Structure 1
C-alpha cells in the first residue's frame, strides 16, 4: 500500500484526533461509568434550605412544588422566589403557603433602578434562606424520590462546600427531545467525570447544593452579574476545588426536569450557556475547547479522506469504526446509569446529529443578537 504525503498527513492527524478523544472517553467518562455509587451516610441531618426561582411558572409550580414539600427529611424549608410573575404564580404561592408551613415566598418587584434577572432572584432567595446548606432546583423540576434531600444534604465532611447532582430530562417522543436528552447526557458525563477526577468546572442549577457562607464569602455573583446565565456553572467554576466538592450519583438523588418543547426555545437556552462559558477559568476553557476542536477536526478530516485514494478511504473508515466501537463500549453503560438507557441504540446517529447542532448553535451564538433573558 502506497500513500501520498498528503494522505499520510491527513490520516496521521485523524489518528491524533482519535487519541485525544480517547483520553476523554477512557480516562474521564469511563471513570464515571465505573464509579461506585455509595449511599449517603446518615449524618447529623442538619437543616436544609431549598431555593427555587420562578417566573411565570404557575403550571409547573402547581404540578411539582408539592413533591418538594413532602420530602423525607426532618427539618427543611423551601424558599420560592416569585420573580415578577403575572400569570397567577403569586396567588398559587399564597394558597400553598397556607397549606405548607415550611414554604417561604419571596417576591421580586419590577424596578427600573436595577437590572433584574435570575441571578438577582437567586440572591434574594439565598438571603431569605435561614439555613447554611442550600439545595437548588427549578420550578419545572421534580425529585426522583422522597429521599432526594437525604441524598443532597450537607456531607459529614465540613470541608465539603459544594455538592453536584444530576438532572435528566423527561422523555418525549420527538427528535428534539432525543437530542436534548443526549446533549444533557454528554454535559453530565463531562462535568461529573471531571469532578470525580478532581477537576470540577461546572454544576447544573436544577440539582446542586452549596453553603450560604461560601456564597457570601465570595461576594455572590458580583464577578459575573452582567452575564444573563451562570448562576450555577459560573459560581461552581469559580469556587469548586478537588477538596471542597463532592458528586451525588445515586438514582434517588436525581431531579427530573421538563425539556424545551420547541427548537427556538432550545436554541435560546444553549445561547445563554454559550455566553457563560466564555468566563470559565482558562484551564477549563482549554479542556473543553480541545474536546470540541478535536471532535470537529475528526469528522472534518474523515470527510476529507473520502476524496482521497481507495486505500486512504479504507484506513479512515477503519479509524472511524474503531472510534465508534470504543465509545459503544463505554457510553451505553453510562446512558443506562444516567436514566437514558433508551438512547443507547441510537448512540452513533445522535452523536453526529449533536455535533452538527452544536456547531450550528456556536455560529448562531457568535453572530446572533447578544441580549438574552433568562425568561
Structure 2
C-alpha cells in the first residue's frame, strides 16, 4: 500500500472520529440545549435537611455558612454541620452561629473512622442525624448563589423522584487558570446533566446534590465503595440513580459557588482524585465516557495530519461541521449555566482538552490517597 492510501485511511479515520463526536453532541448534549423543566400542576414543599461536612474549615464556614442559614424557605428545614475532628476554631465559630440561627445543628465527631477514608463517614453520620426525608448536600467552601437555593432544589421532587442533580460552579476570578477550572467544570456538567436527561445518570457533584434518605438507606449508604477515598457523590449516584428516579435542576437560583484552585498543582490534585473513581463506574458509563474522551483526544492530531497530508479543503469542511455543532451547543448551554463569558474561548478550550487528557490520564491508574 503506497503513502497515498495511508493518508486516505488517516482522513477516513478523522471522519470517523468526527462522526463519533457529532453523535455525542446530537444524542446527548442537545438534550441539555433543548431542556425545559416540565410545568408542575401542583406545588408541594418538603421539609429539608441541609448537610455540610467540615474539617478544619473555620474560615470557609465563617464566609459561606451564612448563605445556607439565611435561605428564604417557608417550610421546616434544618442545617446540619458535621464537624469532623477539626483542630481549628470551627467548634467555637459554630457555637456562635447557633446563638443566632436556631435551625443550625452541629454534630461533633471526636473519633476517626480508620477504615473509611474521605468524608463518607461524617456524611453518613449527617444523613442518619437528619430529621427530614429530603437531604440537600453542599460543602463548607460553597455558598448558594441565591436565598432560594433550598426552595427551588426541593421543588424538583415529585412522587417518583429520589435524586436531584444540581450544578456546582466556581467563582469567576482573573487569570487563565480560573478560566480553565470553570471550563472543565462546565464541560463535566454538560456531560453528567445530558446523560441524566438521556436516561443514563452516572454522577452528581457533592457541592450541590439532593436525594432522599430512603434511597440512601436502600443502597446501604456508601458501603459498596467505602474503601475509596472519594466518590461520596459520583459513585453513590452511579449506584442509586435510575432513569425514573433522577432529575436535574439548572435554575440559576439553585447553583452553588465555590472557591477555585489558586495554583495549577492544587487543581491537578483535585482532578486526579476525582478521576480516580472513574474505574468504579458501570461498564456502559465507562464505555460512553471513554469513547467520548478518546475521540476528543484524537480529533486535533488527526485534523492536523489530514490538513498536511491529505487535503486541507476536505479536512476543514469536516472540522467546520463539528465547529458549527459545538458553537450552537456551547452557546446555549453556557447561557443556561451562566458561563457565557467563556464562550469566546471555546475553541481554545477544545484544543486544550488534548493536553488536559495527557496530563490527567495517569489518574485513572494511580491509587487515590485515603484522605479528605
Give the TM-score normalised by structure 2: 0.94
- Give the whole-Å Cα distance in 2 for the aligned partners of 1:339 and 1:142: 16
Question: 1:186 — aligned with what?
Answer: 187
- Give the whole-Å Cα distance in 2 for the aligned partners of 1:238 and 1:318: 42
**Please, which moves more after superposition, 223-232 or 149-158?**
149-158
The answer on 1:372 being equivalent to 2:361 is: no
The answer on 1:85 being equivalent to 2:80 is: no
- Give the whole-Å Cα distance in 2 for the aligned partners of 1:111 and 1:204: 24
CA RMSD of aligned residues (A): 2.0
Question: 1:318 — aligned with what?
Answer: 317
- Deviation string 1:51-76 (CA, Å, 9 cap, x unpaired) is 11111211111111111111111210
Contact 1:62 1:92 survives alignment (8 Å): yes
- Deviation string 1:96-118 (CA, Å, 9 cap, x unpaired) is 11221111111222447544521
Q: CA deviation at 1:15?
A: 0.7
Instruction: Report matched runs for 1:151-170 at 5 Å.
Output: 151-153=152-154, 155=156, 157-170=158-171
- Give the whole-Å Cα distance in 2 for the aligned partners of 1:204 and 1:257: 12
Q: CA deviation at 1:44?
A: 3.0
Contact 1:166 1:188 survives alignment (8 Å): yes
Q: CA deviation at 1:156?
A: 5.1
Unaligned runs of 5+ in 1: none
Question: 2:346 — aligned with what?
Answer: 347
Instruction: Report matched runs for 1:138-149 at 5 Å.
Output: 138-149=139-150
- Give the whole-Å Cα distance in 1 for the aligned partners of 2:308 and 2:257: 45
Count, aligned residues: 370
Q: CA deviation at 1:373?
A: 4.6
Question: 1:52 — aligned with what?
Answer: 52
Contact 2:278 2:364 survives alignment (8 Å): no
SS in 2 for 1:4: helix
Contact 1:268 1:372 survives alignment (8 Å): no
Sort the Cα spacing of 1:113 and 1:251 in 2 relative to 1 into closer, same or farther, 3 A.
closer
- Give the whole-Å Cα distance in 1 for the aligned partners of 2:243 and 2:270: 29
Instruction: Report matched runs for 1:118-157 at 5 Å.
Output: 118-153=119-154, 155=156, 157=158
Sort the Cα spacing of 1:294 and 1:371 in 2 relative to 1 into closer, same or farther, 3 A.
closer
The answer on 1:258 being equivalent to 2:255 is: no
The answer on 1:23 being equivalent to 2:20 is: no
Question: 1:71 — aligned with what?
Answer: 71
Sort the Cα spacing of 1:69 and 1:183 in 2 relative to 1 into closer, same or farther, 3 A.
same
Q: CA deviation at 1:297?
A: 2.1
- Give the whole-Å Cα distance in 2 for the aligned partners of 1:216 and 1:81: 19
**Please, which moves more after superposition, 106-115 or 212-221?**
106-115
Contact 1:227 1:275 survives alignment (8 Å): no
SS in 2 for 1:303: helix
Question: 1:11 — aligned with what?
Answer: 11
Q: CA deviation at 1:299?
A: 2.1
- Give the whole-Å Cα distance in 2 for the aligned partners of 1:10 and 1:258: 43
- Give the whole-Å Cα distance in 2 for the aligned partners of 1:336 and 1:299: 26
Unaligned runs of 5+ in 2: none
Q: CA deviation at 1:329?
A: 2.2
Sort the Cα spacing of 1:172 and 1:38 in 2 relative to 1 into closer, same or farther, 3 A.
farther
- Give the whole-Å Cα distance in 1 for the aligned partners of 2:277 and 2:65: 28
- Give the whole-Å Cα distance in 2 for the aligned partners of 1:114 and 1:76: 32
Question: 1:327 — aligned with what?
Answer: 326
The answer on 1:292 being equivalent to 2:293 is: yes
Sort the Cα spacing of 1:297 and 1:233 in 2 relative to 1 into closer, same or farther, 3 A.
same
Give the TM-score normalised by structure 1: 0.93
Question: 1:217 — aligned with what?
Answer: 218
Contact 2:300 2:354 survives alignment (8 Å): no
Contact 1:40 1:151 survives alignment (8 Å): no
- Give the whole-Å Cα distance in 1 for the aligned partners of 2:27 and 2:226: 35
- Give the whole-Å Cα distance in 1 for the aligned partners of 2:185 and 2:114: 36
Contact 2:117 2:370 survives alignment (8 Å): no
